[in-house]
Amino acid sequence: MSRPVRIAPSVLPVDFSRLGEECQTLEKAGVDLIHWDVMDGVFVPNLTFGPDVIGSIRPLVDLEFEAHLMVVEPDRIIDRYVAAGCSTVLVHAEACDHLHRTLGHIAELGATPGVALNPHTPASVIRHVRDLLGVVLVMTVNPGFGGQAYIPLEDKVTEVAAMLEDYDCSVEVDGGIGPSTVADVVSAGADRLVSGSALFRDPEGLEHAVSDLRARAEAAQA
């Protein structure tokens, strides 16, 4: 039985001078949660949202927040992103010396633990932490920027989905997800879709982009 499709817009493409309004517009457009791409300038060559920025937006929308921590040593800051209102925290396996402990820490804080896998990282990395996970994020671009070309990793999505068959865990994809790629990743087993630039470049507007992406995903699940 497929999990219901959930759409998680990355807010990297929005007008940061109107971040709050843009998140409210996303909520009105029918997205399911907000995907915050947190970057520290070390793990990836870019710098984005601190916890105080996310905390300032928290009261403006009712949507769930997930923090995609593209940071080194995430243990140092996980608490602050949970306190800022992120109910899911995704750490990169590549940034964790003690992934099992880090995921347990996220759960102790009452948030849903997630792990993100860079394109080169094998699915086998999750084998011994599956019982701790609520989300596995398969990166379909190299992290750091929005608007990059999709890297076809359907085989890895399928492998992750198969490994999670007996676990209560979403399979999420992130990077280059839009009308031309969504059917492939959902057919491969993804149910949680991060989309950034594709949502904002739809000539028929954001609401159409969200409903069209959802329709294409649900058709691929059928």
Whether residue 101 contacts residue 132, with contact meaning beta carbons closer than 8 Å, is answered with: no
CA gap 139, 74 in Å, rounded: 18
Q: Considering the candidates 62, 79, 166, 174, report the single residue annotated as catalytic.
A: 174
Check residue 143 for interaction with ligand DX5 (CB under 6 A).
yes
Q: Considering the candidates 15, 32, 37, 79, report the single residue annotated as catalytic.
A: 37
Check residue 148 for interaction with ligand DX5 (CB under 6 A).
yes
Window of 94-102, 104-112, 154-162, 175-183 that interacts with ligand DX5 by CB under 6 A: 175-183
Long-range Cβ contact pairs of 49-58 (< 8 A, separation 24 or more)? 51/77, 51/80, 51/81, 51/83, 51/84, 52/84, 53/19, 54/81, 54/84, 54/85, 54/86, 55/83, 55/84, 55/85, 56/20, 57/19, 57/20, 57/23, 58/84, 58/85
Check residue 114 for interaction with ligand DX5 (CB under 6 A).
no
Residues in 35-64 at the binding interface with Zn ion, rule: CB under 5 A: 37
Check residue 196 for interaction with ligand DX5 (CB under 6 A).
yes
Check residue 37 for interaction with ligand DX5 (CB under 6 A).
yes
Find all residues with CB under 8 Å of 112, minimum gap 6, and list them.
87, 88, 89, 106, 134, 135
Check residue 172 for interaction with Zn ion (CB under 5 A).
no
Check residue 174 for interaction with ligand DX5 (CB under 6 A).
yes
Residues in 10-39 at the binding interface with Zn ion, rule: CB under 5 A: 37
Binding site for Zn ion (CB under 5 A): 37, 68, 174
Binding site for ligand DX5 (CB under 6 A): 10, 12, 35, 37, 68, 70, 141, 143-148, 174-177, 194-198
